[in-house]
Amino acid sequence: MRMRSLGFLWVLAALSPLSSARATEAPKPLRDELLQITQALVDAIPLGDKAVWERVLTDDAVIIDEFGRVAHKADTVASMHPFPAGLSGSIELRDAHAQLYGDTAILQVEEYEREAVFGQNLVVRYQSLLTFVKQSGMWKLAGYEDVTLPTAPPKLAVADLVLGDYSGTYRYAPDRSWKVSNKQGVLSYVTKSGGRANVLEPIAKDVFMSSDDERNLLIFRRDERGKVSALLERRKFNDLRLTKEV
């Protein structure tokens, strides 16, 4: 349950036609102005402040949230409501970069979100891209998109794991395989000889999360005898199946 999800969440953009000129780094005063506008927008979410979004969005703005949901100005503004009791959140803008294309500016920024959900504290990081256009002397937001940055989840203690069950070679093509190893009580895999080892963090019996950048789920499947026979990498809501070599 994200702060953004709670109040919708947004993002990207109808990139209105950009100037044919090459991009230049935005002057610091402009970058700071765009950051100030963006901070006002995210600060308005937990308050349900419709006025800020009504004022800043262009009439044809496109907003795509971290789940790929597309919204426009009217439905975005209408969805704004104060957070109910027990829920709160704030967003800190980090590592901002701005480029200028004539009367269009692009702001790339990390949004570091802290959430409190009935006493539980959560942190979610987003990489966001905002497209601003100058209209009547004011910078207006025409497009907003963000993606969730995969981060290390809290570790879980899973009882009765027999890590040796998972060791072996798993293949998905004649010349493509992963090798899963148990070394000193830590399960990991490599996708090629000499490659970087990715640690498998247990979620439940036969279910792990990879330590690589994508943090995909790895699900081991067992045959009718209870022996591990396959591995599924659940990536982008699809499963890549690897068969364990005997």
pLDDT at 13: 36
pLDDT in tens, 63-93: 999 999 999 999 999 999 999 999 999 999 9
User: Model-level pTM?
Assistant: 0.83
Of 166, 192, 188, which Cα lies nearest the Cα of 178? 192
Single residue among 148, 182, 204 that ends a domain in this structure: 148
Query: Domain tally for the chain?
Result: 2
Does position 10 have pLDDT exceeding 50, yes or no? no
Same-domain status, 16 and 130: yes
Provide the residue range defining the domain that includes 44: 3-148
Does position 19 have pLDDT exceeding 60, yes or no? no
Single residue among 113, 148, 183 that ends a domain in this structure: 148
pLDDT in tens, 143-187: 999 999 998 888 999 998 999 999 999 999 999 999 999 999 999
pLDDT at 114: 97
